[in-house]
Structure 1
Amino acid sequence: MSKWYLAWKNLMHHPSRFIFNILLIGMAVSLLVIILLINKQMSQHFEKNASDVDLILCAKGSPLQSVLCNIMHIDAPTGNISISEIKPFLNPNHPIIKRALPIAIGDSYQGYRIVGVTKEYFDWYSLRIERGQFFNNDFQLVLGSEVASKYKLNIGDTLQSSHGLVGIDDEHHHDNDLIVHGILKNSGGIQDRLIYISISSYWDLHEHEVDHEHIHHEQNVLSNQELVNYDKTITSLLVKFNGTNIQSLNFGRSINENTNVMAVNPAIELNRLYELTGSASELLNLIGIILSIIAFIAIFINLSQALNERKFEIALIRIGGGSRTYIAQLLIFEGFILSFTGIILGLILGHIILFFSATKYHLADQYGIQGHYFCIDEIYVLFIGLVCGLIATILPVIRASNQNIHHTISKI
C-alpha cells in the first residue's frame, strides 16, 4: 500500500478534524495573499502612473491630494491656477522642461470624470483610438473604454456633463451637448474610466450664455502653445524634465518659494502615502502571521492526537517489520498533505475574494488591484508554508521513533 495513500486514509479517519485544520490554514494564507497582492499591485499601479510625471504644478493645498487628483483621479482638485502663472512652462523650448501637460478637472458624467486636455495628453500616456478619432473641435469628446462599454455609447452619441465629480442626479447639468467623437482602446489603467474633452471645451462649458453654434463649428482644439494667449484657468500642469540635474532638483522648491503655485513631486508624496498605509499593512500582516502560527500549531496538535490514538497500530507495524523511518515518513506525509492542501486552498480563496472585491468596488481601475494577478511571492508563501508544516511534524516524529514497543504491546 502506498505511503501517500495510507497517510491520506489516516487523515480522513477524522474528516471534521482534517477540514477544520485546512480551513484554518486556508484562512491564514488567504489573508496573507490578499495583503500581498494588494500591496504589490497598488505600488505598481501608483508607480506606473506617476513614472511619467516629475512634477505637478497646481493650486496650493495638500500635496498628496494633488497627486491623487491629477494623476490617480481619485480625489478632488486643490483649486485652479491661472495660465498666466504657468505660461513660461508651456514654452516648447524651455531649458529644463521636456514636456508639459495642462489638465482641467471639475465635471463628470454619471460619476465618471471629464478631463480637459490637449492632444498631447494621448501621446504622453500612449493612448490609442479603437473607434472614431481624437477630438478636432470643441464639444467633441473621447471616451475611455469602460465608460463606452458600461453606457453602450457609440460614435455620434451625445451626453450632458454635470458640474462636480460625484455624479449625483440633482447636480447642475451643463446646457451644451457633448458629442462622442472617439473611443479609446482598453489600456488596463485609470484612463479607461475617464472622459476627455479639449480644455477650450471645458472653459466653454463653464461660461454663461455660450453661443454653442459659434464655438462648435468655428473654434478648433487649442494646443499647448495656443493656451498661453488666453486669460483662463486650469487645474494643473504635469511636467516632465529633460533630465535630472541641479536645476531640475531645485525647480520645484523655487516655484513653491517664489510663486502662488504649488509644485509637488509625485514620487515623494507616494512614499509618504506608503508610510501612512504601512502601519495598517503591517498590522494585517501580523494578524496573518499569528493565524498562520496557530494553524501550524493545529497541525502539530492534529498529528500528536493521531499519534496517541494510533500508538497500538504503530507498535503492530513496528512488530510486523516496519522501521522507524517508515513511521516517520507516514507522519511527515500527513503533515505535508495538511499543509499543502490548506495552503493551496488559501491561495485560491485569496484570489477569489480579491477578484469579487475588485469587481464590486472597481479596484482594478482606481487602484490597479485585480484578483487574477499572480506574483512570484506567492511561491515563497507556498514554500515557507510547507517548511513550517514539516517543522510542525518534527516532535510527533521524534515521539513515534522513541515509542517503547514492548511497553505499548503489554497494555493490549
Structure 2
Amino acid sequence: MNSLQLVWKNITQQLGSTLLSVLLTAFGVAILCVIYITGETFEKQLSSNTKNIDLVVGEKGSPLQLILSSLYHVDNPTGNIRLDAARELSGNPFIELAVPISLGDNFNGHRLIGTEPSYLDLYNLRIKEGSLWSDSFEAVIGSDVARKQKLKIGDVFHTAHGLAADGHVHDEHPFRIVGILERSNTVVDNLILCNLESVWDVHGIAHGDHDHDDHADDGHEHSHEHDAADGHDHHDHDDAAAHHQHSDTGADGHQHHEHEDDGEIVAERPREAFVKNIGDDMLEARGDEVTALLVKYASPAAMGIVPRLVNQSTDMQAASPAIESTRLFALLGVGLDSLAVLAYVIMAIAGLSVFISLYNALKQRKYDLAVMRSMGASKTKLFSLVLVEGLVITCLGGFIGLLLGHAALFIINEQASESAAFIEALRFNSRELLLILAACLIGAIAAVIPAIKAYRTSISAVLGDR
C-alpha cells in the first residue's frame, strides 16, 4: 500500500470530522471566490460604463442617484430637464458630444432608453443583427436582452410603465425589434434602445415632430398648436416662476393656456402639479423633456469649466461619473471587505477543525504508527503521512469551494436585476488558484503539530502499553 492509499484510508476512517473540515474549507473558499470575481466585475463595469462619458447633466438632486439612474440604470431618476436647455448646452465649444436619454418604461426588468443614434458612439456599440431604428416604436436590444428573453429580429413586445417589471403594460403601443447589438460587456447589454419620440408617444405626449390633440394628463385635456412653418411648438418660458408652459397664440396676439376641468375653465397650474402621482417615484419625459444628457468633453480644460457652468448658470446639475463611481465602489468595498473577513474566519475555523481531527485520530492510530516504525518506516515517513493528510483534506475542500463559488455566481447572475452587471460565472481565472494554495497552506499549518507528534512516536512506549 503506497502513501496516498494509506492517507486516503486514514481520512475515510474519520469520515464525519473529515467532511466537516472539507465543508468549512469549501465555504471559506467559495465566499472568497464570489467576493473576488464580483468585486473585479463591478470594477470593470464601473470603468467600461463610463469610459467615454465625462459628465452627466440632469435635474438637481443627488449626484450619485443621477449617475446610478443614467449610467448604471439601477435607481430612479432625479427628474427631467428641458430638451431645449440640453440642446443649448450641447452647443458649448468645450463639449464634443452630448447625447440625451429619456427613461420611462421597462420590459421584464430591462429598461427602455429613448435616445439618439450617437448613443452607440459613447459605448462603441455595433449592430450584430438587423439595423438601427428608423421610426418610432422600433427597438434595438442588447445581447443579454435577446438571450434572457429569447427575442429575435421582428419580435414584438409591450413595455410596462415605470421601472418595475409588474407595472402597467402599454398594450396600445407595441415595439418591434429591428436590431440586436453585439456584446459589449457594458450595461447596454441589458438595455432596450429606441428614439426619443417613442418614449414620448408611448405616454401620449405631444412634442415638436408630431401632432397630438386632446392628450389627458392628470385628468386635464391639453390642446397644442404647431407652427406650420418650422414644425415646432411655441413655448413661453416664465423664468421668474421657473415654470415651463405650452401655449396657444390667439387672434389678439396674446398667449393663452386653459384647461377644461369638470366643464369649467381654470387657470394654468404650476409645473409641479403635473409631476405627482406618476408611479415609482419617477418623472416621465413630457414631450420637450429628457431625463439626462450624457456629455463627452472636447478637451481636458472642459473638466473645470462645464460642470461649474451647469451648476451655477442653469437649473440643472452636473455629476461626474469618475467621482461618483469612486464613491460607489468605496461603499461597495466596505460590504465586500466585511464578507472577506467572514470568509477568513471560516477558513481559520476549518484549519482548527483539521487540527482537532488529525490530533484525535493520531491518538487512536498511535499503535498503528508504532507497528509501522517497527516494520522499518522512518520518522520522516510518519511525519509526511500526517502532513499530507492535512493537505489532502484542505485541498479537496478548496476545489469544492471553487465549484460552489462559481455555481453561486451563476445563480446570482441569472436571478439578479436585468440591469445588473453580467458576471462571467463559468470562466475560471488562474488567480483563483491562489485560493487553493491558501487552503493548502492552512491544512499544512494545522497538520504540523499532529505530524510532529507522529514523528516523536516511541515504539517501545506504545507497544509496552499494549
TM-score bracket for this pair, using the shorter chain length: 0.7 to 0.9
User: Among residues 345, 359, 363, which one is paired with 1:290 in the alignment?
Assistant: 345
Residues 159 and 209 (structure 1 numbering): CA distance in 2 closer, same or farther, change over 3 Å? farther
Per-residue deviation, residues 128-173 of structure 1 (Å, max 9, x unmatched): 223322112233222334444555555445444443222335x263
Higher helix share: 1
Contact 1:83 1:230 in 2 (8 A): no
Aligned to 1:100: 98
Residues 42-57 of structure 1 mapped to structure 2, 5 A cutoff: 42-57=42-57
Per-residue deviation, residues 308-364 of structure 1 (Å, max 9, x unmatched): 11111111222222111111111111111111101111111111122122212357x
Q: TM-score normalised to the size of structure 1? A: 0.87
**Cα distance in structure 1, aligned partners of 2:161 and 2:413:** 28
Between stretches 57-66 and 11-20, larger displacement belongs to 11-20
**Cα distance in structure 1, aligned partners of 2:28 and 2:37:** 14
Aligned to 2:321: 266
**Cα distance in structure 1, aligned partners of 2:205 and 2:88:** 29
Q: One-letter code of the match for 1:64?
A: L
Structure 2 alignment gaps of length 5 or more: 213-229, 236-287
Aligned to 1:221: none
Per-residue deviation, residues 89-119 of structure 1 (Å, max 9, x unmatched): 323xx43222221111112334432111111
User: Among residues 179, 187, 192, which one is paired with 2:189 in the alignment?
Assistant: 192
User: Among residues 332, 345, 368, which one is paired with 1:313 in the alignment?
Assistant: 368
Between stretches 4-13 and 273-282, larger displacement belongs to 273-282
**Cα distance in structure 1, aligned partners of 2:353 and 2:359:** 10
Aligned to 2:354: 299
RMSD, aligned α-carbons: 2.9
**Cα distance in structure 1, aligned partners of 2:379 and 2:293:** 74
Aligned to 2:449: 395
Secondary structure of 1:98's match? Answer: strand
Contact 2:140 2:177 in 1 (8 A): yes
Residues 167 and 341 (structure 1 numbering): CA distance in 2 closer, same or farther, change over 3 Å? closer
Residue 163, structure 1, aligned to residue 161, structure 2: yes
**Cα distance in structure 2, aligned partners of 1:333 and 1:347:** 21
Secondary structure of 1:268's match? Answer: helix
Q: One-letter code of the match for 1:348?
A: L
Residues 404 and 133 (structure 1 numbering): CA distance in 2 closer, same or farther, change over 3 Å? same
Between stretches 371-380 and 312-321, larger displacement belongs to 371-380
**Cα distance in structure 1, aligned partners of 2:232 and 2:290:** 11
Residues 229-244 of structure 1 mapped to structure 2, 5 A cutoff: 232-244=288-300
Residues 155 and 28 (structure 1 numbering): CA distance in 2 closer, same or farther, change over 3 Å? closer
Q: One-letter code of the match for 2:198?
A: S
Residues 88 and 210 (structure 1 numbering): CA distance in 2 closer, same or farther, change over 3 Å? closer
Residues 13-412 of structure 1 mapped to structure 2, 5 A cutoff: 13-91=13-91, 94-149=92-147, 153-169=151-167, 171=168, 173=170, 175-208=172-205, 232-245=288-301, 247-362=302-417, 366-412=420-466
Residues 243 and 311 (structure 1 numbering): CA distance in 2 closer, same or farther, change over 3 Å? farther
Higher Rg: 2
Q: TM-score normalised to the size of structure 2? A: 0.78
Structure 1 alignment gaps of length 5 or more: 216-225
Contact 2:33 2:405 in 1 (8 A): yes
Percent of residue pairs bearing the same amino acid type: 31
Residues 212 and 141 (structure 1 numbering): CA distance in 2 closer, same or farther, change over 3 Å? farther
Q: One-letter code of the match for 1:411?
A: D
**Cα distance in structure 2, aligned partners of 1:286 and 1:37:** 16
Aligned residues: 397
Contact 1:174 1:205 in 2 (8 A): no
